């Protein structure tokens, strides 16, 4: 089974295709734009959310087209496509708000309940321009009316009616969630990274448990969960916001962590993006390097270097 890797960076998008000898660059675009998120669709399109230019998509992995709609010119930080209704899109923006499209992005309408949540007056972002971000969106794998949202910085929220109402479920977790992941085989469990550690919930956020044994630093960044083994989790952990850390692996849902050996370390280097399938695990950093492991992080090969700082990855098997 071959694979395509879509790469979002601080200065555009790049697409690599796996060949027998190398990962070949087959497309690039959105030059100069800061790409925050990438999503693939069931009809082989690739969509990107950007920091200040709304949404764009490509149907051939080479030519990108801006999506002109109500979100044009806005910062898009998260995006999900409904798995059974391909015209339905949810997007999270900065300032933190949730928008819904029913026609594949031609028009969006805000679902204002999240922005109007009583806790929203405490939301912010630690760096200029200090606007909160709807940083992660995730749909329940079996009940698609259930939406999870991580606001940076504002905490974790759950909706049982596709964004019409929201419950804050940040108790024990804190208000700065840097990544959020779940798994179809364990629909009640969620994993979260934050600057104060790694957390797990078994009841959709009603109760969060801290699991940091083995981590050298608690400043955790991005996550990846094995698609077939929900207890196998990877995360990035760093000494500071600038870097000085590596990638860690847990085989027991975070009860114990071990560092993945063989990746470069530097005080100004951060691991900023991950992507995983059953036989490939990719990590990327803010120096523009991308590494591949085929043995769950025990050994690594570098497949690309000298890109702009990498912000997100999307690994698509074909």
* Lowest mean pLDDT across 35-39, 41-45, 113-117: 41-45
pTM score: 0.94
For the stretch 243-294, pLDDT in tens is 999 999 999 999 999 999 999 999 999 999 999 998 999 999 999 999 999 9
Q: Sign of torsion, CA 194 198 204 206?
A: negative
Res 129: pLDDT: 75
For the stretch 218-245, pLDDT in tens is 999 999 999 999 999 999 999 998 999 9
For the chain, the domains span 3-317
Which residue reads 């998509």 in tokens? 57
For the stretch 115-168, pLDDT in tens is 999 989 889 887 777 789 999 999 998 898 999 999 988 999 999 999 999 999
For the stretch 209-219, pLDDT in tens is 999 999 999 99
For the stretch 47-77, pLDDT in tens is 999 999 999 999 999 999 999 888 998 999 9
| Domain 3-317: homologous superfamily in CATH | YVTN repeat-like/Quinoprotein amine dehydrogenase (2.130.10.10)
pLDDT, mean of residues 169-182: 92
Res 174: pLDDT: 87
């Amino acid at each position: 089974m071959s694979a395509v890797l879509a790469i979002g960076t601080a200065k555009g998008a790049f697409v690599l295709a796996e060949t027998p000898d190398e990962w070949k660059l087959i497309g690039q675009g959105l030059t100069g734009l800061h790409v925050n998120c990438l999503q693939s669709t069931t009809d082989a399109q690739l969509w990107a959310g950007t920091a200040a230019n709304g949404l764009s998509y490509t149907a051939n992995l080479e030519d990108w087209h801006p999506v002109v709609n109500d979100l044009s010119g806005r910062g898009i930080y998260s995006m999900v496509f409904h798995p059974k209704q391909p015209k339905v899109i949810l997007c999270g923006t900065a300032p933190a708000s949730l928008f819904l499209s029913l026609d594949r992005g031609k028009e969006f309408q805000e679902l204002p309940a999240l922005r109007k949540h009583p806790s929203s007056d405490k939301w912010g972002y630690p760096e200029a321009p200090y606007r909160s971000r709807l940083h992660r969106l995730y749909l329940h794998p079996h009940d698609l009316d259930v939406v999870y949202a991580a606001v940076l910085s504002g905490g974790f929220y759950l909706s049982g009616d596709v964004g019409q109402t929201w419950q804050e479920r940040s108790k024990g977790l804190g208000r700065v969630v840097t990544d959020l992941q779940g798994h179809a085989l364990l629909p009640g469990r969620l994993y979260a990274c934050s600057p104060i550690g790694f957390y797990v919930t078994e009841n959709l956020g009603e109760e969060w448990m801290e699991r940091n044994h083995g981590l050298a630093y608690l400043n955790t960044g991005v996550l990846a969960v094995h698609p077939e083994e929900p207890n196998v989790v990877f995360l990035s952990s760093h000494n500071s916001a600038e870097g000085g850390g590596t990638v860690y692996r847990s085989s027991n849902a975070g009860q114990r962590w071990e560092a993945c050996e063989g990746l470069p370390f530097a005080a100004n280097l951060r691991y900023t993006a991950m992507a995983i399938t059953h036989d490939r695990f990719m990590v990327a950093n803010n120096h523009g390097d991308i590494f591949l492991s085929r043995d769950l992080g025990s050994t690594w090969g570098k497949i690309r270097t000298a890109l702009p700082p990498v912000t997100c990855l999307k690994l698509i098997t074909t």
